[in-house]
Structure formats: structure tokens, C-alpha cells
Amino acid sequence: MTPPPRRRWQQPLVHLKTLWRARRLPESAAISPALRKELSDWGLWTSRVMVVLMAVLAGWTIVGFTWLTEQALALFSAGRARIWWAPLLWTPACACAIVWCTRRWAPGAAGSGIPQVMAALDASMPPGEIKRFASLRLSFAKIVLTAWGLLAGLSLGREGPSVQIAAGLMLQARALMPRRSAINPHSLLVAGGAAGIAAAFNTPLGGVMFAIEELARAPEQRSSGLIIAAIVLAGVVAVSAHGNSTYFGVIHAPALDWSLLLPGLAVALAAGLAGGLFARLLLASLGGEGRDVMSRLRRGNPRWWRRCFRG
């Protein structure tokens, strides 16, 4: 028996079904073999879609993180306006709690965030150690701890944490890609860090310049176009939320003359000396090599200090 003739509306469906089974384009199409292979590689397109989706998610996450930190800072300002002496108790208590929680559960979330991402981008960093500096867990911890710090009235910024948060989100995309994907963790970290810069400062071009600088050091650059597109997309998300405004505002500087030379040099020298002294004191405090009372107590009872402040 001959099969019944197909209707006209069924013929395109049968043709598409045949193409799906063959996983290739018709030979009659004037397409090069390389392009035909790329268009039929579903793993490649899955990786590209995941990078784009995670870039959008990173952009909106930084937008939400910005809103959360602004609300936290506004709550602290409102509380200080009502009870002026409250920060004398509230800020030190929260600072101790934040330090304890960070060292106990998320030591990789300590610091501003940018040095951690740069350490993860280091070529000598083993692949298994990258999650110590950038991961989805650290991104969540960074959001909570930074917002808590601003609620406590600590002198914190959200730009550095934004870089580490976005890098952790983008790195999570690698777990959702095929194992043979050509997009490596280094490229995802670059995309995440640059997306954080673009979204935090509302400057897509700033993120692109950071990515170009980092990608130029990597031997693998086949996915550079995709990474740049992801960064621009994250920056566009931030611009769509914050508007086309300058992050640092517009500075109207008066006319400069030679009378400002000596005061400018004095301020520059004083700031440099103060910064160097602060760095030396901070290193001495962290290393326990100081001669003050607290450093001597820490050297004399190291186990007690570890139990109290590291959990």
C-alpha cells in the first residue's frame, strides 16, 4: 500500500524533522563547512546563551546590591539622627560580629573584592583554589556582609564588592556549560570582574577596557568577542536602571593659578606620608609584630585569640 499523500502544511515540518535528525544544513546551501559546523554545534550555543544570561543576571544583581546598600546607609543615617549616641555602641558591636562571621564562614569575602579577583586571575593559581576567592557562595556572603557593614555605619564602598560579586556569578556559569566548552574559567572571571566594574560605576566602556587588558595576557582569545558582549550587556543593564548619569557627578573646578602650587604639594606629601604610615601600621597589626599592648597579648596567648575571634 502506498502511504497517503501529505498535506501541504505538513511538508515544512517533515523537512525540519529531517534536518534535526541529520544535525546539518542542506548541502545545497552556500555555507562554508566551518560555519555549518558552528551553527550545528549545540554545545557551543548553549555556552553562549549561558554567558549572556549570567551577564544579565550579574548586571541586575549589582543593581539590586546598589539599592540594598543605599537603603542600609539610609537606615543608619536615620537612626543616628534620632539617637546620636547609638553609633557609639551599635557600630563597634556590628564590626566585631561582621569580622567574626567573615572569618568563621566566609574568609574569602574579606577585603575589598578587587584584589581577590586579581588573585583568582593569576596564571599560577591552581584551578581548585579559584573558589577560595570567587564563587556563588562568596557572592552571597559579600552582599550580606557589605550591606550589614553599611547598616553599622562602617566606612565601606560597594564598588570593590561589586567586582567580586559579579565574578562569582559569572564563574557559576561554567558549571552549567558542557564539559567540552571552549570558554574557560579565566574568561568568565574577566567577564564577571569587568561586568561588576561596568555595573557599579555605570560605565560599560570602563569594563570593556579592563577586559581588554586582562584578555591580552591570556593565550586563549577565541571567546573574547563573547566576553566583551557580555560586559557591554551588563553595563547596559546598569544604565537602564540608573539612567545615563555620571557616577562621580560633575566637578566645577575654579580657575587654577600658581598660588595653589605650594598648598597642593603640601597636601600631596602629607597624604602620601599618612597613607604609607597607615599601611605600615595595618601590616604590623595583622602580623602581630607591634609593640603595643594588644599585640603583646596576642603573641602571649595565641590559642585564646584564635578561639575568640576565629571560631
* Percentage with pLDDT > 70 across the chain: 70
Averaged pLDDT for residues 114-119 = 86
Domain span at residue 219 reads: 61-242
228 domain residue, yes or no: yes
The domain tally of the chain equals 1
d(CA 247, CA 22): 52
Q: How many CB atoms lie within 10 A of CB 85?
A: 8
Average pLDDT over residues 114-133: 83
Give domain status of residue 108, yes or no: yes
Mean pLDDT for the chain overall:
78
Stretch (H or E) spanning 161: helix 159-172
Residue with more model confidence, 138 or 173: 138
Number of Cα atoms under 13 Å in the Cβ half of residue 82: 5
**Span 33-42, pLDDT tens digits:** 665 666 666 6
Q: Would you put residue 215 in left (φ > 0), alpha (ψ -120 to 50) or beta?
A: alpha
Q: Please report the pLDDT score of residue 217 as a whole number.
A: 61
Going by pLDDT thresholds of 50, 70 and 90, the confidence category of residue 28 is very low
For 148, residues 6+ apart whose C-beta sits below 8 A from its C-beta are 72, 94, 98
Task: For the full predicted model, state whether its pTM sits above 0.75.
Answer: no
In a domain, 281, yes or no: no
Dihedral-angle region of residue 249 (phi above 0 means left; psi in -120 to 50 means alpha; beta otherwise): left
The answer to the question of residue 304 being in a domain is no
Please say whether the beta carbons of 163 and 200 come within 8 A: yes
C-alpha cell at 302: 595565641
State the pLDDT confidence band at 249, using cuts at 50, 70 and 90: low
CATH classification at residue 87 = 1.10.3080.10
Only one residue has cell 557559576, namely 172
